[in-house]
Amino acid sequence: MDPVTALRRIAFLLERSQAATYRVKAFRTAAEVVTAMAPGEAAERVAAGTLERVSGIGPRTAQVIREALAGEVPGYLERLEEEASAEPAPEQGRELLSRLRGDCHLHSDWSDGGSPIEEMGRTAAELGHEWAVLTDHSPRLTVAGGLSPERLREQLAVVARLNEEWAPFRLLTGIECDILPDGSLDQEPELLEQLDVVVVSVHSKLRMDPAPMTRRLEAAVRHPQANVLGHCTGRLLSGRGRPQSQFDADRVFAACAEAGTAVEINCRPERLDPPRRLLRKAVEAGTLFAIDTDAHAPGQLDWQIDGCARAEECGVPADGVVTAWPLERLLEWAG
């Protein structure tokens, strides 16, 4: 077995299960180190007993490399695969999952994600996506490394270069753009016009009174460049938790339907946003939907099944899910 493949797969499975970041980083770092080695160097170091002297390779990652080079499935990888296969699968969602073509919401280490753009895009393609949208944060979210206009322009050039190598898979340019308190968007208008897909989300003043929050969301989803309303209630279910933002859902979802802005079904386990009650309201309003992982690491790109299960449970029509659309249809809608 190729040791880099084994190390990357272990990191993927750890990310998928929300393991501690330091554990994931150990395997991704080791994969990068082995990739940079000269042909045959890893095997030579195993034979000489010097593998663990290499910076970035520790006892556990060295054991994985040794077992892989010996033609075995590393024991640690085998255990993680068994644990993953033993997880109870949602009873619903498989049919819709099979129809998905992409993901409109993922982050890289350019903002608060944990992996390079290359790793996120490569993993999306390996999962069978035809396309995915890179949506790092906008400038005012400094705590998450939001991209200034200059950095976003640099990122556009990087994505263009990678797409030359990745065809037919396509990494689309995008942003998770903060919705400011007055409903305006946190990025230069001319830059927003250049992007393939714009996700708009609230990250500040989440406990605003319902009336101004409703006006804030209505203004944002009606913005000409807005394509997807991200995690609309802002709730968090884990840790100390965070309550839902309060707003007139009927008015906001009606605005989404009129503007053609999709409501995101966020698949992060700590979000699962919107709640089922609001998801059913969005269905009644006739909105479009985007089933997105909001992935901050490659393994999290495999979370869409949870969103698909909730979508089927709440009666979301498959043809109204933009992440099930082929690239040409998606770009025509988002353009």
Q: What is the pLDDT of residues 205-236, one digit of tens each?
A: 999 999 999 999 999 999 999 999 999 999 99
Q: How many domains does the chain have?
A: 2
| In a shared domain, residues 190 and 315 | yes
Retrieve residue 152's tokens: 């976003």
Residue 63 belongs to domain with CATH number: 1.10.150
Q: Residue 271: CB partners within 8 Å, gap ≥ 6?
A: 231, 235, 236, 237, 294
pLDDT of res. 181: 98
| In a shared domain, residues 39 and 104 | no
In residues, how long is the chain? 335
pLDDT of res. 87: 77
pLDDT of res. 10: 98
| In a shared domain, residues 10 and 133 | no
Of 86, 103, 121, the last residue of a domain is: 86
Residue 298 per-residue DSSP state: G
pLDDT of res. 90: 73
Closest C-alpha among 116, 129, 198, 115 to residue 166: 129
Residue 199, beta-bridge partner list = 176, 228
| In a shared domain, residues 119 and 62 | no
| In a shared domain, residues 78 and 102 | no
| In a shared domain, residues 248 and 143 | yes
Report the predicted TM-score, pTM, of the whole model to 2 decimal places: 0.94
Residue 172, beta-bridge partner list = 133
Mean pLDDT by 10-residue block, N- to C-terminus, for the chain (335 residues)?
97 95 95 98 98 98 98 98 84 94 98 96 98 98 96 98 97 99 98 99 98 99 99 95 98 99 98 98 99 98 97 98 99 97
Angle at 322 between CA 317 and CA 325, to 5 degrees: 100
Residue 119 per-residue DSSP state: H
| In a shared domain, residues 56 and 98 | no
Helix (H, G, I), strand (E, B) or coil at 70: coil
| In a shared domain, residues 29 and 98 | no
Of 86, 108, 135, the last residue of a domain is: 86
Domain span including residue 118: 94-334
Residue 159 belongs to domain with CATH number: 3.20.20.140
Sign of CA dihedral 199, 202, 236, 252: negative
Tell me the backbone φ, ψ of residue 281, rounded to 5 degrees.
Answer: -65, -40
Closest C-alpha among 53, 99, 24, 40 to residue 300: 24
Of 86, 102, 128, the last residue of a domain is: 86
| In a shared domain, residues 73 and 129 | no
| In a shared domain, residues 74 and 204 | no
| Cβ atoms of 169 and 162 closer than 8 Å | no
| In a shared domain, residues 273 and 138 | yes
| In a shared domain, residues 167 and 260 | yes
